[in-house]
């Protein structure tokens, strides 16, 4: 048994953190290879799509945390279930005013935006 009473051996954390696997590739390197360097059109299009995907996932998670169906959320916001589905699945671009309604009226949250330069 180790000092904490477990039968699992404790490994030296410092030794583990210094070990690097030379076969690993960073996400940044993969994106550079697949979509080009940041600032290229292909990479910018990918980044934009990723941000839209993230938005849909955030709305869906918040809706589920509130225990709402798409239909219930749509009713609270004055829209329809199909629209909510399209926003969550990134099929539909959403206007800022509609996004604000979904977040603030439908989900009872606060919409916060940021700009990174």
At 8 the pLDDT is 55
**Region class of 8: left (phi > 0), else alpha (psi between -120 and 50), else beta:** beta
Residue 7, pLDDT score: 56
Domain regions of the chain by residue span: 26-106
Query: The CATH number of 26-106 is which of 3.30.160.20, 3.40.190.10, 1.10.260.40, 3.40.50.2020?
Result: 1.10.260.40
Q: What is the pTM of this model?
A: 0.56
Q: Which residues of the chain fall below pLDDT 70? A: 1-21, 49-53
The token pair at 4 is 């904490």
What CA–CA distance (Å, rounded) separates 18 from 70?
A: 47
Question: Quick one: pLDDT at residue 75?
Answer: 97
In the prediction, which pLDDT does 44 show? Answer: 79
Q: CA 101 to CA 106: how far, in whole Å?
A: 6
pLDDT at res. 109: 95
């Amino acid at each position: 048994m180790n000092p904490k009473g477990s039968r699992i051996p404790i490994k030296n954390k410092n030794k583990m953190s210094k070990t690097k696997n030379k076969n690993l590739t960073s996400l940044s390197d993969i994106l550079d290879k697949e979509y080009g360097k940041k600032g290229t059109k292909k990479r910018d299009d990918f980044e934009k799509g990723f941000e839209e995907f993230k938005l849909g996932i955030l709305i869906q998670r918040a809706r589920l945390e509130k225990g709402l169906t798409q239909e219930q959320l749509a009713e609270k916001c004055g829209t329809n279930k199909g629209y909510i589905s399209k926003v969550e699945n990134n099929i539909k671009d959403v206007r800022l005013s509609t996004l604000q309604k979904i977040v603030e009226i439908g989900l009872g949250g606060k919409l916060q935006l940021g700009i990174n330069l």
